[in-house]
């Protein structure tokens, strides 16, 4: 930036000028038209014509580039920007991106990558450990269809939606009463196809009228019958439990999230300081054990040694304390009724709130 010397100085000669660097920041969303010169070669003797391929620029028979297609998926699916709003953002720079065209791009992406999506889901079914949870969401069209007792229309039998629904489900039955579920959830299932290879992690997302437990149940239907042992890591809500008949076919073990187990004791530490601080101190000891493992080197031998020698004793002490609360025994001279926050927290920790079997807890990383 320069100064108009005549405006500010009577005599513009002999002035000393210096410059310093300053920074300003901005962002913008841009769209552009890519102009290509595509050669066509024709043999006049035979009439044969060959046109250069543009497949490296974008999908066949489409005017969008690969980057444009990826950005549309990222904006609408990854960042949940409404399609019409995205179109309004882009149309000033490039009128091509109408709502209908963005929808067609998303449909194209779904059709192209459906084989990869289904393959990842099928591969994840054989993982030894499955983790995940649900996120409630709203879809205006589905909410409108479900209003006043309505139901979601059945997809076309030969369409993409039906094909994926046959594998992973779409609308699930309620567990405790007749009828179909009506809450739209985005469920995620996470696992490693190769237990010792971090590169084999799969993060599998599914939007449906169901839950994490429903999705995992569908996946286990595709599981190799020889792979009997499977561990399911979740917050132990009833919606995260798999269907009962799968317990007869596989050795299913539930592992609760330690962060969920710790959270209520922290939340109510001022209301019930003595028992909450005791539990929180125990969680802190467990964290110190994990830090010691990191310091020594997180190998299988070190993990088994320190967790087995020290961590197991802490977990058992915490479990016994929670079971004492549930049996109605006095702790620090206090009793907690079944509807109290402390009782529910202890019930969750003891693994009886959602499951009839004992569960283990895993450290959130």
In a domain, 23, yes or no: no
Query: Total domain count for the chain?
Result: 3
- Given 213, 229, 249, which residue is the final one in a domain? 249
**Domain match, 236 and 267 both:** no
Q: Is residue 42 part of a domain?
A: no
Domain assignment of residue 294, given as a range: 259-362
pLDDT at 362 over 60: no
Whether residue 15 lies inside any domain: the answer is no
Report, as an integer, the average pLDDT of 275-296.
94
Q: Please name which of 192, 191, 238 lies closest in space to residue 213, comparing C-alpha atoms.
A: 238
- pLDDT for the residue 361: 52
Is 46 a domain residue? no
pLDDT tens across 105-151, in order? 999 999 999 999 999 999 999 999 999 999 998 887 888 888 877 88
The reply to whether 264 and 245 lie within a common domain is no
- 213 and 274 in a single domain? The answer is no
High-pLDDT (> 90) share of the chain, %: 58
Give the pLDDT mean for 17-46.
Answer: 89
- Are 108 and 192 part of one and the same domain? no
Confidence (pLDDT) at 280: 95
Asked whether the predicted pLDDT for residue 179 surpasses 90, the reply is no
pLDDT tops 70 at residue 360:
no
Give the residue-averaged pLDDT of 187-208: 93
Q: What is the pTM of this model?
A: 0.75
Domain boundary among the residues 189, 223, 249 is at 249
Q: Is residue 131 part of a domain?
A: yes
Residues 300 and 332 in one domain: yes
pLDDT for the residue numbered 357: 41
Residues 106 and 165 in one domain: no
Tell me, yes or no, whether 196 and 308 share the same domain.
Answer: no
Are 206 and 304 part of one and the same domain? no
Higher pLDDT, 9 or 223: 223
What is the model's pLDDT at position 364? 45
Tens-place pLDDT, residues 293-302: 999 998 989 9
Structural domain contains residue 4: no
Q: Are residues 86 and 167 in the same domain?
A: no
**Which of these three, 215, 249, 283, is where a domain ends?**
249
Are 71 and 132 part of one and the same domain?
no
Q: What is the pLDDT of residue 332?
A: 83
Q: CA 58 from chain center: how many Å? A: 28
Write the pLDDT tens digit of every residue in 223-274: 999 999 999 998 878 888 899 899 999 999 988 888 888 999 999 999 999 9
Task: Tell me, letter by letter, the H, E, C secondary structure of the chain.
Answer: CCCCHHHHCCCCCCCCCCCCCCCCCCCCCCCCCCCCCCCEEECCCCCCEEECCCCCCCCCCCCCCHHHHHHHHHHHHHCCCCHHHHHHHHCCCCCCCCHHHHHHHHHHHHHHHHHHHHHHHHHHCCCCEEEEEEEECCCHHHHHHHHHHCCCCCCCCCCHHHHHHHHHCCECECCCCCCECCCCEEEEEEEECCCCCHHHEEEEEEEEECCHHHHHHHHHCCCCCCCCEEEEEECCCHHHCCCCCHHHHCEEEEEEEHHHHHHHHHHCCCCCHHHHHHHHHHHHHHHHHHHHHHHHCCCHHHHHHHHHHHHHHHHHHHHHHHHHHHCCCCECCECCCCCCHHHHHHHHHHCCCCCCCCCEEECCC
Residues 238 and 135 occupy one common structural domain: yes
pLDDT in tens, 65-109: 999 999 999 999 888 888 999 999 888 888 899 999 999 999 999
131 plus 99 within the same structural domain = no
Name the average pLDDT for the chain.
89
């Amino acid at each position: 930036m320069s100064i108009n010397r005549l405006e500010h100085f009577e005599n513009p000669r002999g002035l000393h000028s210096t410059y310093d660097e300053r920074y300003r920041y901005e962002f913008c969303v841009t769209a552009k038209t890519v102009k290509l010169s595509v050669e066509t070669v024709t043999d006049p003797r035979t009439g044969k014509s060959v046109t250069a391929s543009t497949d490296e620029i974008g999908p066949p028979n489409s005017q969008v580039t690969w980057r444009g297609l990826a950005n549309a998926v990222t904006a609408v699916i990854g960042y949940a920007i409404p399609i019409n709003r995205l179109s309004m953002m882009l149309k000033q720079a490039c009128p091509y991106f109408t709502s209908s065209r963005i929808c067609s791009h998303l449909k194209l992406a779904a059709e192209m990558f459906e084989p990869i999506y289904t393959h990842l889901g099928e591969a994840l079914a054989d993982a030894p450990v499955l983790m995940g949870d649900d996120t409630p969401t709203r879809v205006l069209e589905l909410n409108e269809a479900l209003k006043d007792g309505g139901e979601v229309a059945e997809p076309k039998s030969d369409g993409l939606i039906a094909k994926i629904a046959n594998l992973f489900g779409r609308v699930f039955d309620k567990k405790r009463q007749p009828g179909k579920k009506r809450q739209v959830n985005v469920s995620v299932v996470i696992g490693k196809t190769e237990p010792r290879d971090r590169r084999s992690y799969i993060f599998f997302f599914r939007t449906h009228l169901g839950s994490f437990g429903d999705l995992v149940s569908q996946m286990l239907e595709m599981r190799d019958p020889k792979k009997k042992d499977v561990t399911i890591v979740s917050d132990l809500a009833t919606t995260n439990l798999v269907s009962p008949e799968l317990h007869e076919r596989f050795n299913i073990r539930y592992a609760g999230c330690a962060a969920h187990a710790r959270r209520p004791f922290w939340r109510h530490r001022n209301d019930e300081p003595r028992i909450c601080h005791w539990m929180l101190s125990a969680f802190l000891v467990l964290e110190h054990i994990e830090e010691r493992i990191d310091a020594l080197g997180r190998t299988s031998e070190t993990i088994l040694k320190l967790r087995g020698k020290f961590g197991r004793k802490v977990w058992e002490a915490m479990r016994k304390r929670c079971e004492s609360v549930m049996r109605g025994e006095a702790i620090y001279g206090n009793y907690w009724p079944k509807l109290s926050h402390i009782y529910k927290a202890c019930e969750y920790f003891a693994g009886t709130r959602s499951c009839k079997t004992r569960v283990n807890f895993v450290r959130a990383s």
